[in-house]
Amino acid sequence: MTDEALLAQFRTGGDNAVLGVLLQRYTLLLLGVGMKYLKDKDGAQDAVQQVFLKAITHMPKEEIQNFKGWLYILMRNHCLQLLRDKHYLTEESAISHVAAEESDKDLLLWKDKTLEQVQPALQQLEAAQRQCIILFYLEKQSYKQIMERTGYTFEQVKSYIQNGKRNLKQILLRLQ
């Protein structure tokens, strides 16, 4: 039977088995699209199953003129959404894992100073800079933890740390 005949039979009877036969015809096409975008066989196979489910549950009420094209677009959009979600999760997780680097030259210089020398210099910083410097360098918290604790945005935390570090270095050099 043609795609159109199977679609018509599905629309009149609502039998998912008929739609299953139709979807089975394009399994390899969908798998190929998934591999093209996701570059992962397991991910592509999962995406095909999710698109099958989406096709069954979200079949449009209007008649589909080109089922193969509609299914291709559905799969492509699903893969692109997966890639977008993965990209945003990657950025979000990167923020949460930003921590002080031990190779930071300024940090190594600071370690040479005793905490007694740094404490008075810290008190001379603006409150927000002092708070972010203490949380980041002394308490070893990530940017995300500092954001949650202080309510500052990522840009604010980054700015307070950078400016605070520069200001603290200048204060410590004056104290020598």
Per-residue pLDDT of 27-68, as tens digits, reads 999 999 999 999 989 999 999 999 988 888 777 777 788 888
Find, among 34, 35, 2, 49, the residue nearest to 21 by Cα. Answer: 2
Collect all residues with Cβ–Cβ distance below 8 Å to 82 and sequence separation of at least 6. Answer: 37, 38, 43, 47
- DSSP 8-class letter at 141: -
> What structural domains and CATH numbers belong to the chain?
3-96 (1.10.1740.10), 105-175 (1.10.10.10)
pLDDT of residue 31: 93
For 113-172, how does the pLDDT look when each residue is reduced to its tens digit (9 = 90+)?
A: 556 677 888 888 999 999 998 898 888 889 899 999 999 999 999 999 999 989 988 888
Residue 85 has pLDDT above 90, yes or no: no
